[in-house]
């Protein structure tokens, strides 16, 4: 892998991002803040009154249960957006990737730079969510420092397979469908707002196979200090890495075929 070339592509993405970074950071901070106020404190105050809820939520107040899930879901949503329209833009509309293919830059460099970009964007989003969480005593802990990389890994696990899909597209018609029927349902039913054990068996096991649930479990365990276990944590990390690695492999092959054939 040509690291300097990958970094040059990453720097190009960063220069584009600098034009809108202020509004993105403000939005990334305000959105989780509103969710925490509405769901964590508003709805949570009603849920916490139910004696059975404590056992269902692992002896956590509802805001402490929901907040870490927002780390993973925010990273997922940011990574998914960055891996669809911007990729097809670089392929079809702006043709930046086509211009890069005429230079010594290789498909591996484009894939590596996109992976770095997903980690960067997911990291910025996760840090702003963690900053919002730090304002709430029930979720303010040093474990947030470990939860942020877990959220970044969740974003990478979603971003790279979606980027591989985007490389095969000539039109963006499938992207709203993915957002509406995959990303949004996962946001609601991926374990961030309530345990998957509350869902029907078929939906529950589908949720277990997605990267989001694994990211939510990691973020929740590390942000709240809940018992997870070393083997379980390694299993979650390995599963997320597998999704990311498969996505990178597919994106490289498809980009090589489309841009460098």
Lowest mean pLDDT among 28-32, 144-148, 192-196, 241-245: 28-32
144-155 per-position pLDDT tens digit: 999 999 999 999
Mean pLDDT of 222-240: 91
Give CA–CA dist 194/12, Å, rounded. Answer: 40
Least Cα distance to 211 among 72, 32, 64 occurs for 72
**How many C-beta neighbours within 10 Å does residue 57 have?**
18
> How confident is the model over 80-97, as pLDDT tens digits?
999 999 999 999 998 889
Residues 178, 158 contacting (CB under 8 angstroms): no
Sequence-distant (6+) residues with CB within 8 A of 199 are 189, 207
pLDDT of 2 strictly over 70: no
Q: For the chain, which residues make up each domain, given as ranges?
A: 3-259
Torsional class of 59: left (φ above 0), alpha (ψ -120 to 50), beta (otherwise): left
Q: How far is CA 157 from the centre of its chain?
A: 7
Alpha-carbon span 227 to 217, nearest angstrom: 11
Q: Average pLDDT for residues 41-59, to the nearest whole number?
A: 76
Phi-psi label, residue 227: left if phi above 0, alpha if psi -120 to 50, beta otherwise: beta
Specify the pTM.
Answer: 0.90
Helix spans in 89-210 (H): 96-100, 107-133, 143-167, 174-178, 184-189, 201-209
Phi, psi of 170 (to 5 degrees): -110, -10
pLDDT of residue 22: 57
Band of pLDDT at residue 188, cut at 50, 70 and 90 = confident
Q: Report pLDDT for 221.
A: 93
């Amino acid at each position: 892998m040509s690291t300097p070339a990958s970094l040059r592509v990453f720097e190009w993405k960063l220069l584009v991002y600098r034009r809108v970074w202020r509004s993105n950071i403000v939005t990334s901070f305000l959105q989780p803040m509103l969710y925490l106020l509405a769901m964590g404190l508003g709805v949570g105050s009603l849920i916490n009154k139910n004696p059975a809820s404590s056992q269902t939520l692992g002896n956590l107040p509802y805001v402490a249960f929901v907040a870490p899930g927002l780390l993973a879901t925010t990273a997922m949503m940011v990574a998914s957006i960055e891996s669809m329209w911007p990729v097809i833009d670089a392929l079809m509309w702006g043709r930046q990737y086509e211009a890069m293919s005429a230079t010594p830059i290789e498909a591996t460099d484009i894939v590596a730079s996109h992976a770095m970009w997903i980690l960067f964007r997911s990291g910025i989003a996760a840090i702003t969510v963690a900053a919002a969480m730090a304002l709430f005593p029930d979720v303010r802990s040093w474990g947030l420092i470990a939860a942020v990389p877990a959220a970044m890994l969740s974003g990478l696990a979603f971003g790279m397979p979606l980027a591989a899909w985007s490389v095969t597209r000539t039109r963006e018609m499938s992207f709203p469908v993915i957002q509406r029927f995959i990303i949004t349902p996962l946001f609601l039913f991926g374990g961030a707002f309530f345990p998957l054990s509350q869902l029907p068996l078929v939906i529950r096991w589908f949720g277990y196979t997605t990267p989001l649930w694994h990211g939510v479990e990691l973020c929740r365990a590390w942000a709240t200090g809940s018992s997870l276990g070393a083997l379980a944590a390694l299993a979650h990390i390995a599963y997320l890495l597998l999704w990311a690695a498969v996505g990178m492999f597919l994106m490289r092959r498809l980009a090589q075929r489309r841009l460098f054939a």
